[in-house]
Amino acid sequence: MHRRLIGATAAVAAALLLGGCASAATGTTATPDAMSTPTPSATAEPAETAPAESETPVPAEPEPMAAGAYLDYEDGIIARTAGPKVLFFHATWCPNCRQLDEELRAAGAPEGLTVFKVDYDSRTDLRRQYGVTLQTTVVFVDDDGTAISSRVLYDDPSIAALVAAQP
């Protein structure tokens, strides 16, 4: 009787240990619902095999975006965006930046121009790349991200000044 109890305890412990390892290996966490859900037995129909490497679908490139929007900057977005584009170096603590930001949110970007809002404080890499030393600076870039021209709109943070700054 004592041997059966030890054997049963060892079997339960092994099952729990193996079940825990399987969850950790697959990156999932067992939940009470998952524990009570029966799993297919080893004699069930075999699952379909994964496609061969040559059949694996390649993730599609992100869709190009049309010109004429006000968007938060993210790496790679310049190349994916058609038409004229400008980086607007914005700081949340800057009242003039907030003024232009509010106008762009209310009225939208000028037709055909895509304005990317770049966080002045966190994107020091872009500030260095484009030689930006003041917030409210706008940098017009080509499709490769090369600077075409720049201007500081601190004294006139408006859409009209942004349009006038276009090369």
- Does some domain include residue 44? no
Do 98 and 154 belong together in one domain? yes
Do 107 and 159 belong together in one domain? yes
State the CATH number of the domain containing residue 134.
3.40.30.10
Q: In this predicted model, what pLDDT tens digit does every residue of 118-153 receive, in sequence order?
A: 999 999 999 999 999 999 999 999 999 999 999 999
Do 131 and 77 belong together in one domain? yes
Do 86 and 158 belong together in one domain? yes
Expressed as residue numbers, the domain containing 28 is 1-36
- Does some domain include residue 31? yes
pLDDT value at position 68?
A: 79
Torsion of CA 122, 123, 125, 131, to 10 degrees: -120
Tell me the average pLDDT of the chain: 76
Helix residue spans in 2-158 (DSSP H): 2-26, 32-36, 95-107, 124-130
- Does some domain include residue 57? no
Q: In this predicted model, what pLDDT tens digit does every residue of 60-106 receive, in sequence order?
A: 555 555 567 999 999 999 999 999 999 999 999 999 999 999 999 99
- Does some domain include residue 108? yes
Do 80 and 156 belong together in one domain? yes
Residue 28, pLDDT above cutoff 50: no
- Does some domain include residue 120? yes
Do 156 and 99 belong together in one domain? yes
Number of domains in the chain: 2
Do 1 and 74 belong together in one domain? no
Do 82 and 152 belong together in one domain? yes
Task: Give me the mean pLDDT over the 6-32 stretch.
Answer: 43
Do 32 and 79 belong together in one domain? no
- Does some domain include residue 21? yes
pLDDT value at position 9?
A: 47
- Beta partners for 86? 115, 140
Residue 33, pLDDT above cutoff 50: no
Burial 29-46 (b: 16+ CB within 10 A, else e): eeeeeeeeeeeeeeeeee
